[in-house]
Amino acid sequence: MKSTRRIVVIGAGVGGLAASVDLARSGCEVTLIEKAPYVGGKLRSLEPQGRAIDAGPTVFTMRHVFESLFADAGRRLEDELRLHPASLLARHVWGSDPAILDLHADPQRSMDAIGAFAGASEARGFGEFLDRAGALHECLREPFMMSPRPTTSGLMREIGFAGMLTMWRTPPWLTLWRALAEHFRDPRLRQLFARYATYVGSSPLQAPATLMLIAHVEQSGVWLVEGGMRRVAQALASLATHCGAHLRLGNGARRLEVRDGRIVGVHFEDGDFIPADNVIFNGDTQALADGLLGEDVRRAVTSRRRSERGLSAVTWCVDAPTRGFDLVHHNVFFGDDYPREFSDIFERRKITTQPTIYLCAQDRGEASSPLSAGDTERVLILVNAPADGDHDGITDDALAGLEQRVFSRLETSGLIVSRKPEHLVATRPQDFAQLFPATGGSLYGSANHGAFASFARPNARTPIQGLYLAGGSVHPGPGVPMATLSGRLAAACLLRDTD
């Protein structure tokens, strides 16, 4: 019975790829369709000088999520991807006479570095912060992340007494920004650890303090992928095809056909139609709510009220020589006023004058051969922006001004990127909005603002029979491992429902 189920997965982001793997290996007939001519969705790359530069995610964590996906399909992750543990997590930079702080995979080294940077009491604060992040991770991992449909009451039942104490100390209404003040007096450290809110597209001033568990996730291992992050998407796609999924690239889904409350098939942009017993939608769920896949499936997302969009970004992929600053793989050049940076984005809907700059130097670190002086190198530069790309894009003049400010800011810390216009490709919120329909350019679905935002995300099941959801806008949320988990949760729900 199961072997005859025809399933269409719409979108070859990591969520769609993971769902395709699990369904195909379970004997379903899976067609994975993707409107772009490549797999990976946000894991895309650009080639300003003919060499691929990762233009999406760069921080690879939670390796175990991918290990178990591969293992369940009878393969070994290490045979398909070469992953190197990063000994240095990130270099953090402030000011013109740059103050520099490195965080390391070894927490003791980080603690020593923080002690030397800001004093012994800040180092102690870091130790306590890591303990608290670890306890939150322990408490929320199973009942929240791994649960197909977490609720606040269910969570309270499952976490037990130790979990209650952990949540008592870090209740969901406490913001990350306020919680960090309990650990760090030095504003630079508060700023550094507040950055974790941006990993899920949110402002640390509004995001719950529970997000500090991301510090624990990073401390448990950040990996550098040989050949770049795009290799992750390629490896997932070949695993899916190995399991029997059929891939159709460069053709989008235009409309989902529903009869008597049940999915019956998918109409393509080019006019084709394929019948389907089940569909997993891996695009942003707002696309369904906005009617982009047809009136029949608008109600798939029960709350049609547009929730607050998460962060978008302006990025530059640059292939050029750099000098004057000792870059590592992950670098952050902080702006002066973090609260202002986020109130500008979320309230005044603009990029702040002097934004924090993330720079991924992709040819550095354990997964790359050492660079020689004068070599060109591949970097991704990112600043946060409001997700207004569908109605208020960034003009060419505004982009030129921003670019000037960003590269001058890097120069004040000593980093000179010898770039010519042909060395770089910029991506603005309006470009992300086009790539990922109904998002306005948000890279992470809805913002995780307020006490209950984590519970407000749609989960895999929808009110429409046969239609399931996967991806960063779905529980358990954005980020490569989380979206992968969501794909697995969607596949598991579908298989359970059709058993």
Query: What is the C-alpha to C-alpha distance for residues 42 and 283, in angstroms, rounded to an integer?
Result: 11
Q: Are 77 and 236 in contact (CB under 8 A)?
A: no
Residue 36 interacts with ligand FAD (CB under 6 A)? yes
Q: Name the one range near ligand FAD by CB under 6 A: 118-126, 159-167, 399-407, 436-444.
A: 436-444
Q: Which is nearer to ligand FAD, 118 or 232 (CB)?
A: 232
Give me the 439-468 binding string for ligand FAD, x by CB under 6 A, dash otherwise.
----xx------------------------
Q: Which stretch binds ligand FAD (CB under 6 A): 13-21, 301-309, 346-354, 461-469?
A: 13-21
Residue 8 binding ligand FAD, by CB under 6 A:
no
C-alpha distance from residue 342 to each of 63, 204, 427 (Å): 30, 8, 20
From candidates 7, 8, 12, 425, binder to ligand FAD by CB under 6 A:
12
Place of tokens 């001004």: 401
Least spacing, CB of residue 471 vs ligand FAD, in Å: 3
- C-alpha–C-alpha distance, residues 488 and 496, integer Å: 12
Stretch that binds ligand FAD, among 67-75, 121-129, 142-150, 281-289 (CB under 6 A): 281-289
The separation between CA 425 and the C-alpha centre of its own chain, rounded to angstroms, equals: 21
Per CB under 6 A, 222 contacts ligand FAD: no
Q: Dihedral through CA 325, CA 329, CA 334, CA 335, nearest 10?
A: 80
Identify the residue among 205, 436, 454, 485 touching ligand FAD (CB under 6 A).
Answer: 436
**Is there a contact between 180 and 194 (Cβ–Cβ < 8 Å)?**
yes
Residue with tokens 């902080």: 334
- Sequence-distant (≥ 6) Cβ neighbours of residue 427 within 8 angstroms: 46, 55, 313, 314, 315, 316, 317
> How do strand 278-281 and strand 6-10 relate by DSSP bridges?
parallel
Segment contacting ligand FAD by CB under 6 A, of 41-49, 177-185, 319-327, 413-421: 41-49
Q: Which of residues 152-181 bind ligand FAD (CB under 6 A)?
A: none
Q: What is the 3-state secondary structure (H, E, C) of 398-437?
A: HHHHHHHHHHHHHHHCCCEECCCHHHEEEECHHHHHHHCC
Question: What are φ and ψ of residue 234, in 5° steps?
Answer: -65, -40
- Closest distance between ligand FAD and the C-beta of residue 483, in Å? 4
Count of positions on this chain that bind ligand FAD (CB under 6 A): 36
Which helix (H) or strand (E) is 486 found in, with range? helix 480-498
| Closest approach of ligand FAD to the CB of residue 156, in Å | 28
> Which residues, 287 to 316, sit near ligand FAD by CB under 6 A?
287, 313, 315
Does 471 contact ligand FAD by CB under 6 A? yes
> In the stretch 315-354, what mask flags binding to ligand FAD with x, by CB under 6 A?
x---------------------------------------
Binding site for ligand FAD (CB under 6 A): 10-16, 33-36, 41-43, 56-59, 252-253, 282-283, 287, 313, 315, 382, 436-437, 443-444, 471-472, 478-480, 483
